[in-house]
Copies of this chain bind each other. A is one copy, B any other.
Amino acid sequence: MMSIREEIIKQAKKAKSASRQMANISTEKKNKALYKVADGLLEKTDEILAANKKDMEKAKSENLSKAFLDRLSLDENRIKGIAVGLKEVAKLTDPIGDILEMKRRPNGLQIGKMRVPLGVIGIIYEARPNVTVDAASLCLKSGNSVILRGGSSAFNTNKKLAEIISENLQKAGLPGGAVQLIQTTDREAVKELLTLNDYLDLLIPRGGAGLINRVLNESKIPVIQTGVGNCHIFVDESADLKMAAKIIENAKTSRPAVCNAAESLLVHENIAEDFIPKVAKVLSKHHVEIRGDKTAVKIENSIKEAEESDWSQEYLDYIISLKVVNNLEEVINHINKYGTKHSEAIITENYTNSQKFLSQVDAAAVYVNASTRFTDGNQFGLGAEIGISTQKMHARGPMGLNELTSTKYVIYGQGQRRE
């Protein structure tokens, strides 16, 4: 029997070899394969649901939370939704082979940058099994191979999904090894995966801060950090306070468990007495707990006093922190200190402050007068996303197909030599 390391190296070699083929497969062929996978999933709905039932039973026996079970469970409609998603990826423009910035140099050389796939991408994610299909489809469309490591709770479901994907890729003439799931729930497998810098070109951890930090510390492969969002909304003294309250209500309560939800409010001292009771009233309708600094507590007695640790919390829940601030400098310093460089917003009618906030707050997405909830590949017009990068190298913000590519310089000469 092979060891976990041997098994994983075998998969990585297969992925690498598949990636060489994938790089040169036409868009038409890739799209047909995506449609075939979609149809394959629909045809085998019963098998997927049976596998998912096993995972659900195990999760229930372990008393996992209702929210967790909801993310894990599939039904016929969700599978239909996944199939629709695949067809939507098929409709996206294929970036591979595009040549950017082609120019002629004084010596006659024509030089451009051709978009090429990255190669082999590893994705480590948690419970939701739809990620298995979403991630695979984006990697395939951009000409990459992918090695998937899903959460152990979804293992049976993911295994079935990966099997159907691989089988239908082969039917469509693509290499089956282009999509592979790690075939064990042993945590050892992640450790091994992180060392495969000879085979993997990129690792994307999708999950909580714990997972991301582990990957960052142990990986020799380039990593893109995604997802952790301690997002702030600053209400300036010149803000339209009605607009501010509505944006905050949306950013906090429309989907509190996602990374682009607001986690902290900063309110200018000159409007604090007027605005805080208003926003507290709006948020109380959604049973949001507010944790504020001393000034905020004095103004509105329904507010609990915050601790220092609240300023760096990503609650992912119906909780928000609130701080009264003296000026924009304090806001910028506070966000750059406590934020996670995800999404940050200012609500203001002051032109200078809006410009200063946009240029000096260090984050993947900075907003004037809009909800942070828009930080998303679809909302930004990328068509789909594989995650939201909170780092500066390679890609920042929502990552679509382009962010799964590299470029190479292509040079057309007529015998040029360098002097």
Contact = CB atoms under 8 A, between A and B. Distances in A.
Interface of A: 20, 23-24, 97, 103, 105, 109, 111, 113-114, 116, 118-119, 197, 201-202, 216-217, 220, 222, 240, 243, 246-247, 249-251, 254, 336, 358-360, 362-371, 373-375, 379-381, 391-394, 396-397, 406-419
Closest A-B pairs by Cβ, 10 of them: A370-B413, A250-B417, A392-B406, A373-B418, A365-B409, A394-B394, A369-B413, A370-B416, A243-B415, A367-B411
Contact of A370 (B202, B216, B406, B415): B415
Contacts of A379: 105, 418
A363 B375 CA distance: 34
A417 B246 contact: yes
Contacts of A118: 392-393
Contacts of A249: 417
Given A393-B393, A396-B407, 19 more contacts: A24-B360, A109-B374, A111-B380, A114-B359, A243-B415, A247-B415, A247-B417, A362-B408, A364-B408, A366-B408, A366-B410, A369-B412, A370-B412, A370-B415, A374-B411, A374-B418, A380-B409, A393-B394, A397-B408
B396 A408 contact: yes
A122 to B, nearest CB: 13
Contacts of A411: 365-368, 370, 374
A381 B111 contact: yes
Given A222-B222, A370-B109, A417-B371, A409 B397 contact: yes
23 contacts: A24-B359, A97-B359, A103-B381, A109-B370, A116-B362, A118-B392, A216-B220, A240-B415, A243-B415, A247-B417, A250-B418, A358-B410, A368-B411, A369-B412, A370-B413, A370-B417, A373-B418, A374-B416, A393-B394, A393-B406, A396-B408, A396-B409, A397-B409
A220 B247 CA distance: 38
Contact of A366 (B371, B380, B409): B409
A335 B153 CA distance: 43
A406 B396 contact: yes
A254 B410 contact: no
A254 B417 contact: yes
Nearest to A366: B410
Contacts of A396: 406-409
Nearest to A119: B392
Contacts of A119: 392
Contacts of A365: 408-411
Nearest to A410: B358
